[in-house]
Structures are given as C-alpha cells and as structure tokens.
C-alpha cells in the first residue's frame, strides 16, 4: 500500500499529533506523516516530530507572505493531505483551494454546535446534555466544512471544563484516525 504523504499543523500540546504519528506507523494506515508545521516556536508538540524524526518547520504568521514558506515546504515534501490538529490560525483561502477536500480539522464540540473557541465553558453555560468531537473538512467558513465523523458522550453533573476536555480528547484520539481511514477507504 502506498501511503499518502501528510502534513500535520499544530500550535500547542500536540497530543493529537502524537496519536496520529503512532497510528501512521501501522502498516495499513493510509497516511505517512512527512511534515509538521507549527506557528508556535514553543509548541510542546514539536518534540513528537523530533522524537520520530519527522521534518518540521516553524512559521511566523506575523510575517507578510508567510504562507509562501508553507506552500514551498508542502511541495518539497510532496504533501497531498493536511490535518489541522490544534492549529490556532485560520488557514488561508489560497491554501484551502489548493488542497480542496484534502484538509481536515478536529474540533472539540458536536458541530454545528459551538464553533470557535471556549467550547467547554459555553456547553456548560448552555446546560448541554451531550459533548464530543467532530472531524470535518476545512472550507472557507470557520468550523463549517462537511462533517466526516462525530463522537459523543453524555455530560455528567460533575463534569467541569477540565473533565470535559479530557473526555473529549480521549474521543479525539479515536475519531481522528478513524476519519482518515474512512476518507481513504472511500477513494
């Protein structure tokens, strides 16, 4: 099986990156992680790229034309698929149109509910019954592309923001790899 070369974009902890790297090392997993992009020099997650000897780049999104550097590296590493895993920047229209239906994101809510930031505090405030995560294609609107997969759980009375985050991330570690398998099984 020829694996697609994938790039993971991160900004922080990188636990989803770590999880995807571990899955990608299994023979029949459809992608090989060939590049990591971080917009944050101090992102903890970059250590997973180092640990697994995966090329990584830092980008300074304050610089004009910073995206040229990303595009060059995506080309250099022959990247055909992109996963946003806790990437806290908006991806440009240019990149989205170049990688049409080839960029996916994981979001910590049951979309279309709670797009954007601070999902857990908003869920608690709204007295939601269920929480969870969604993997979706990235389009030009924030957290609005076609949904690939959702996983949910019932919120318990004692669940605070930290507990919700932990439970959601545990589901994310299943949902992200499953989505990737689902996408490539279709093609």
- Binding interface with ligand GRF (CB under 6 A): 10, 12-17, 45, 85-86, 106-108, 133, 169, 172
CB of residue 17 to ligand GRF, shortest distance in Å: 6
CB of residue 16 to ligand GRF, shortest distance in Å: 3
Dist CA 174 CA 118 (whole Å):
22
Dist CA 112 CA 159 (whole Å):
22
Q: Both tokens of residue 40?
A: 């944050």
CB of residue 85 to ligand GRF, shortest distance in Å: 5
Complex with ligand GRF: residue 104 or 183, whichever CB lies closer? 104
Cα dihedral across residues 71, 77, 81, 86: positive or negative? negative
Q: Which active-site residues does the annotation give?
A: 107
Nearest to 76 by CA among 21, 44, 105, 37: 37
Residue 89 is given by DSSP the state S
Nearest to 168 by CA among 121, 103, 98: 121
Q: What residue is closest to ligand GRF based on CB?
A: 86
CB of residue 11 to ligand GRF, shortest distance in Å: 7
Complex with ligand GRF: residue 107 or 151, whichever CB lies closer? 107
Paired sense of beta strands 130-137 and 103-107, if any: antiparallel
Complex with ligand GRF: residue 4 or 13, whichever CB lies closer? 13
CB atoms within 10 A of CB 186: 7
Q: What is the number of residues in the chain?
A: 187
Nearest to 59 by CA among 75, 71, 48: 71
């Amino acid at each position: 099986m020829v694996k697609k070369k994938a790039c993971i974009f991160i900004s922080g902890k990188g636990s989803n990156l770590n999880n995807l790297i571990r899955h990608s090392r299994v023979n029949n997993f459809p992608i090989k992680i060939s590049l990591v992009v971080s917009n944050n020099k101090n992102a903890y997650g970059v250590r997973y790229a180092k640990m697994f000897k995966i090329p990584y780049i830092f980008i300074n999104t304050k610089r004009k034309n910073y995206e040229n550097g990303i595009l060059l590296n995506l080309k250099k590493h022959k990247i055909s698929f992109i996963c946003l895993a806790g990437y806290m920047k908006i991806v440009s229209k240019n990149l989205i149109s170049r990688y049409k239906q080839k960029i996916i994101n994981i979001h910590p809510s049951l979309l279309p509910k709670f797009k954007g930031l601070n999902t857990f505090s908003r869920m608690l405030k709204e007295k939601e019954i269920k929480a969870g995560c969604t993997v979706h294609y990235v389009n030009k609107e924030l957290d609005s592309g076609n949904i690939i997969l959702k996983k949910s759980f019932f919120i318990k009375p004692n669940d605070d923001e930290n507990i919700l985050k932990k439970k959601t991330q545990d589901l994310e570690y299943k949902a992200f790899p499953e989505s990737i398998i689902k996408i490539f099984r279709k093609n």
